[in-house]
Structure 1
Amino acid sequence: MPTPAQHPTFSFDSIDPQRVEDALARIGPKWTTWSTMVLAQENRPMRVRDVSVQLPFVSEQNVSKRLATMHADGLVTRSDNRRGAPYRLSALGESLAPLHSTLSDWSRAHLPLGTMAEAERIENALRRLNLRDATAVIQVLGAGGPMRFVHISEEAGLDTPWARQRLLRLQADGLVSRTGTRHGDPYVLTDAGQALGAVYASVEHWSAPIAERRASPTPRPVAAATRTNVGVPLGPDGARTAAALRRSTAAPNSLFSHVPQPQPRVPAAVTAQSAPGRGR
């Protein structure tokens, strides 16, 4: 059983739970990491069927849906919107490499999962974190734990039934434990939960370009008499977004260098051991 951490190494007070959860909602859905790694390793535009061939354990329909969502979330781009147009990673998608490495390191250090493919390990970690209000509960315990249930509920701003459900899930995932067996005994973060400070910091760092775009003022529309495209607000796939994404410092050639070997083609036996999908 995971043991409580004794020496916090990160200030949980500095976490913005909503920003963390918004970012996890983009990268946490099932098959997102697998699709990202395939596109990174191939480093070329790929159609849905090309990605699906590299992921034989995922239906082509699911690959198509995942890539469409990743496109809407800015993780991949397309040359145009024609049916069948290929996808490739955007700069934002490429910049996931350091965050994926952080998630993998955290999993290896704190979760007894045994041998599994790198993408599967990362998605397992994300399934534990991509839960509504989980970040707020972990932040409360990281900043003020050990803490009794009623105080966790109050500090996190959650109603009693939902707070209890969330704590039970976090306990099952090895991120939270009780200090005793009696009713009312306080909760505390495990070593795995305490180590999430560094993971959350990486998530917030990765999401900085997204927050920057949202904070940017909306450009003024061009006056009707101007009759020119100069100054017209650009769409989501326009140059303005591309320029914002290019501010990432990730180097495409070093993407996923922590992966010991190409992972997409996973033996059926390994894939069958994957944890079931978990909803938010």
Structure 2
Amino acid sequence: MTDSTIHGAGPGVDPEQACPIAPVVDLVFSRWTTPILWALHTYGRHRFVELERRITTITPKVLTQRLRQLERDGLVVRTYHPEVPPRVEYEISELGRTLAPLFATLAEWSALHLDKVEQARAEHDAREPVRARRR
């Protein structure tokens, strides 16, 4: 019996069954989810504008969409304060905090190996013909 048989990965198998972490990767590692969760985990509760300033390359529309999705997924808590003017704050939820070991592992891997990835890219690009890189 092979690993692919043991884990259900074979011909005609649903990709989510072949890779059981695929839904988690989609959930946690979509384009803007990780920076938002990282900021809320590392720096604590933020108002919308504070998050926008911290993640400078995100648009207000995308930040709104991602925060709504993260709230729906249970990873972020939105707190509305009925003041004048109204105030809304976002913080990572208890469920979101359970991702801290994963983020720590990825940060450690990055510190240890990202330079090797950059080196491999540079070596690969040096070998590739110029026309292939223009695509």
Q: Which of the five TM-score ranges fits, normalised by the shorter chain?
A: 0.5 to 0.7
The change in CA–CA distance for 1:133 and 1:203 in structure 2 (over 3 A counts) is same
3-state secondary structure, aligned to 1:51: coil
Distance 1:124 1:218 in 2: 33
Structure 1 residue runs of 4+, over 4 Å off? Answer: 204-211
Higher helix share: 2
Query: What is residue 251 of structure 1 aligned with on the other side?
Result: none
Matches within 5 A, 1:170-209: 170-180=70-80, 182=82, 183-205=86-108, 209=113
Give the percent of matched residue pairs that are identical in Structure 1 and Structure 2: 21
| 2:48 paired with 1:145 | no
Matches within 5 A, 1:225-240: none
Per-residue CA distance 1:204-245 (angstroms, 9 max, x = gap)? 4556556413235639x8xxxxxxxxxxx6xxxxxxxxxxxx
Matches within 5 A, 1:1-280: 38=4, 41=6, 51-53=10-12, 55=13, 58=14, 119-120=19-20, 122-157=21-56, 158-180=58-80, 182=82, 183-205=86-108, 209=113, 211-215=115-119, 218=123
The change in CA–CA distance for 1:192 and 1:211 in structure 2 (over 3 A counts) is farther
TM-score norm. by structure 2 comes to: 0.66
3-state secondary structure, aligned to 1:135: helix
User: Radius of gyration: which is bigger?
Assistant: 1
Per-residue CA distance 1:113-157 (angstroms, 9 max, x = gap)? xxxx7954x233222112112111112211222111111111111
The change in CA–CA distance for 1:202 and 1:180 in structure 2 (over 3 A counts) is same
Q: Is the 8 A contact 1:147 1:188 kept in 2?
A: yes
Per-residue CA distance 1:40-92 (angstroms, 9 max, x = gap)? x48xxxxxxx9215x2xx3xxxx7xxxxxxxxxxxxxxxxxxxxxxxxxxxxx
Query: What is residue 81 of structure 1 aligned with on the other side?
Result: none
Task: Count matched residues.
Answer: 117
Q: Is the 8 A contact 2:33 2:66 kept in 1?
A: yes
Which fold has the larger relative contact order, with Cα–Cα distance below 8 Å and residues 6 or more apart in sequence? 1
Q: Is the 8 A contact 2:79 2:88 kept in 1?
A: yes
The change in CA–CA distance for 1:125 and 1:213 in structure 2 (over 3 A counts) is closer
3-state secondary structure, aligned to 1:186: strand
What is the one-letter code of the residue matched to 2:100? Answer: G
3-state secondary structure, aligned to 1:52: coil
Per-residue CA distance 1:171-225 (angstroms, 9 max, x = gap)? 1111101234644221110012122221123334556556413235639x8xxxx
Q: Is the 8 A contact 1:149 1:184 kept in 2?
A: no
Q: Which runs of 5+ in 2 are unaligned?
A: 128-135
